[in-house]
């Protein structure tokens, strides 16, 4: 039959993590054997956790160098191109978003795997604790039945059978069997002597795992919100939104590197345990559990005998012998001593209960139940748990790199928005071709000037305005300069229905009918509307 060591084989990633170099604070090599109580081993795990701080420092140095280069090259970029090319920024933002979303997917899977592994560990711990408590209760109950109940009945029977030496001899033999039972029950493991409460360990593990799962879930959601807010900020071109995103990106960057260091140190420590868990458990239980008992439950091999089998066999034989003695006394002594029937029946009842408890102890003390819980705990921790931690470390690394690139994109977008605002601020306010909404100079004369459209509406329609007859001496009036300019850019002039009134857009060209209407204005109308429409 296969042994336990063949049933459990540590996965390859635990050996890979176990071979990570372990150094203490003095940078001296440390043995990678799992020894959580050793100070040097603790220092090696702390140094592995500091890898996150090193990564954060490198990211900040990279971002600082990028900012310096961006500030130094900004003037050259502004001189080279009026409109900087944003295609590269767009593609970097897209790739960064895709990497972040992929990292979040990996993180969700790793978080679920780790949670499943820890749940399997705690479930196995609760089962093992329930088995051990059942063993302890049955041993205590059996010893109490024999030491207290049977002993009291035997003392009363000794008084009743004082005149019958043959009956007293049977009672002495039963007391000898009772001593054997008490001695063998005392050889069984006493759970109260152990220094480790598996239920308390499971409760603490569950508590810590809940907050670990919740923190990673919030971090994953934060990264998704950052991606969505980044898309919105690029679409809206909002500097305030970019400032808010920048703050959350920095927060997520710090948390990502911190989670990377913590996850790596935890994965390495758990892998050190998973490579040789039997050795660690034997060392931890040597104060209250013998080595043969520990090996019996850790390996559960048919080649290893049950260390409690002899004690259980002696208990069963002693109980059987006592049952035979009680049956004989009930048959022969009760007709002579009727008062002894009550005590003999009480002893028989206690012996039946004790025998049933011994049979249950035989089943519970078999290695298969506890060994199954042990294997389930190992598989949950070393397979699902460590695998989930590796995926979470990969998520943290990808997210940290993507967030660093996202900060670079935000810095570049900020400079582009600043240069665009600078271009708007550099517009000449006296330029007649500026858009009207950006000119804020107030002209009191313009405030009372009627538009040319209102002039037309006051006369009803353009058809009611008849141009005055032109004298033959007057030659054809040359078209205005703006009409000549419009014809330079096309074969036909452009016509607009509304004339230009003091600076809106470049000068339009008018249709012949509009020009005729304009020239037909009288002197009174010109005095009324001013010289705004005069060519």
pLDDT digits (tens, 9 = 90+) for 278-302: 999 999 888 888 888 899 999 998 8
Q: Point out the least confidently predicted range of 211-215, 325-329, 343-347, 457-461.
A: 457-461
pTM for this predicted structure: 0.73
Question: 178 and 146 in contact (C-beta within 8 Å)?
Answer: yes
Burial track 127-142 (b if 16+ CB lie within 10 A, e otherwise): bbbebbeebbebbeeb
Q: Which two tokens stand for residue 291?
A: 């080595």
Residue 11 DSSP class: -
pLDDT digits (tens, 9 = 90+) for 180-199: 999 998 888 766 666 678 99
In this prediction, residues 2-17 reach a mean pLDDT of 77
225: part of which helix (H) or strand (E)?
Answer: helix 198-236
Q: Rounded to the nearest 5 degrees, what angle is found at the Cα of 20, between the Cα atoms of 14 and 23?
A: 135
Q: Which residue has the higher pLDDT, 429 or 384?
A: 384
Tens-digit pLDDT profile for residues 131-146: 999 998 999 889 988 8
CA dihedral (505, 509, 514, 517) positive or negative: positive
* CA gap 210, 77 in Å, rounded: 51
Burial of 92 (0-12, 13-18, 19+ CB in 10 A): middle
213 vs 476: which has the higher pLDDT: 213
Q: What is the domain partition of the chain in residue ranges? A: 12-76+89-420
408 and 92 Cβ atoms separated by less than 8 Å = yes
Cα–Cα distance between 298 and 3 in angstroms, integer? 10
The structure tokens listed for 406 are: 């996202």
> pLDDT digit string (tens) for 488-506?
444 444 444 444 444 444 5
Better pLDDT: 421 or 261: 261
**524 or 343, which is more confident:** 343
Burial of 292 (0-12, 13-18, 19+ CB in 10 A): exposed
pLDDT bin (cut points 50, 70, 90) of residue 74 is low
Burial 161-184 (b: 16+ CB within 10 A, else e): beeeeebeebbeebeebbebbbeb
Phi, psi (deg, nearest 5) at residue 521: -65, 140
Place of tokens 């960064």: 96
pLDDT at 438: 42
* DSSP calls for 168-188: HHHHHHHHHHHHHHHHHHHHS
pLDDT above 90: percentage of residues in the chain: 55
Determine the Cα–Cα distance for residues 387 and 363; give it in Å rounded to an integer.
Answer: 35
Looking at residue 439, what is its pLDDT? 42
């Amino acid at each position: 039959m296969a042994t336990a060591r063949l049933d459990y084989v540590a996965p390859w990633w635990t050996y890979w993590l176990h071979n990570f170099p372990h150094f203490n604070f003095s940078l001296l090599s440390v043995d990678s054997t799992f020894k959580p109580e050793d100070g040097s081993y603790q220092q090696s795990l702390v140094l592995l956790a500091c890898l996150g701080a090193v990564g954060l420092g490198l990211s900040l140095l990279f971002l600082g160098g990028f900012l310096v280069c961006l500030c130094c090259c900004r003037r050259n970029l502004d001189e080279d191109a009026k409109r900087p090319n944003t295609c590269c920024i767009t593609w970097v933002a897209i790739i960064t978003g895709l990497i972040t979303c992929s990292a979040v997917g990996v993180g969700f899977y790793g978080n679920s795997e780790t949670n499943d592994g820890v749940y399997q560990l705690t479930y196995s711990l609760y089962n093992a604790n329930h088995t051990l408590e059942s063993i302890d209760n049955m041993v205590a109950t059996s010893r109490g039945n024999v030491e207290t109940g049977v002993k009291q009945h035997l003392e009363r029977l000794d008084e009743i059978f004082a005149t019958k030496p043959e009956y007293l001899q049977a009672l002495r033999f039963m007391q000898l069997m009772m001593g054997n039972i008490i001695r063998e029950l005392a050889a069984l493991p006493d759970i109260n002597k152990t220094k480790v409460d598996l239920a308390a360990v499971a409760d603490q593990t569950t508590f810590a795992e809940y907050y670990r799962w919740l923190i990673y879930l919030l971090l994953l959601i934060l990264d998704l919100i950052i991606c969505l807010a980044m898309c919105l900020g690029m679409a809206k071109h909002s500097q305030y939104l970019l400032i808010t995103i920048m703050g959350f990106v920095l927060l997520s960057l710090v948390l990502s590197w911190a989670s990377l260091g913590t996850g790596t140190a935890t994965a390495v420590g758990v892998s050190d345990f998973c490579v040789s868990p039997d050795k660690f458990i034997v060392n931890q239980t040597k104060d209250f559990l013998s080595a043969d008992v520990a090996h019996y439950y850790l390996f559960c091999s048919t080649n290893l005998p049950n260390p409690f089998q002899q004690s259980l066999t002696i208990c069963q034989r002693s109980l059987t012998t006592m049952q035979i003695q009680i049956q004989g006394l009930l048959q022969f002594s009760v007709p002579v001593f009727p008062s002894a029937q009550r005590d003999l029946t009480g002893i028989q009842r206690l012996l039946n209960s004790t025998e049933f408890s011994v049979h249950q102890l035989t089943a519970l003390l078999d290695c298969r139940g506890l060994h199954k819980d042990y294997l389930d705990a190992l598989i949950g921790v070393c397979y699902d748990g460590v695998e989930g931690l590796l995926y979470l470390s990969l998520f943290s690394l990808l997210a940290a790199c993507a967030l660093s690139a996202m900060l670079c994109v935000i810095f570049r977008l900020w400079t582009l928005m600043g240069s665009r605002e600078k271009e708007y601020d550099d517009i000449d306010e006296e330029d007649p071709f500026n858009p009207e909404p950006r000119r804020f100079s107030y002209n009191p004369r313009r405030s009372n000037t009627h538009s040319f459209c209102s002039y037309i509406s006051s006369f009803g329609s353009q058809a009611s305005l008849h141009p005055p007859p032109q004298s033959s001496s007057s030659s054809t009036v040359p078209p205005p300069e703006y009409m000549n300019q419009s014809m330079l850019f096309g074969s036909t002039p452009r016509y607009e229905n509304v004339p230009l009134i003091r600076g809106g857009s470049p000068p339009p060209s008018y249709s012949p009918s509009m020009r005729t209407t304009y020239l037909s204005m009288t002197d009174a109308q010109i005095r009324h509307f001013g010289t705004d429409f005069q060519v």
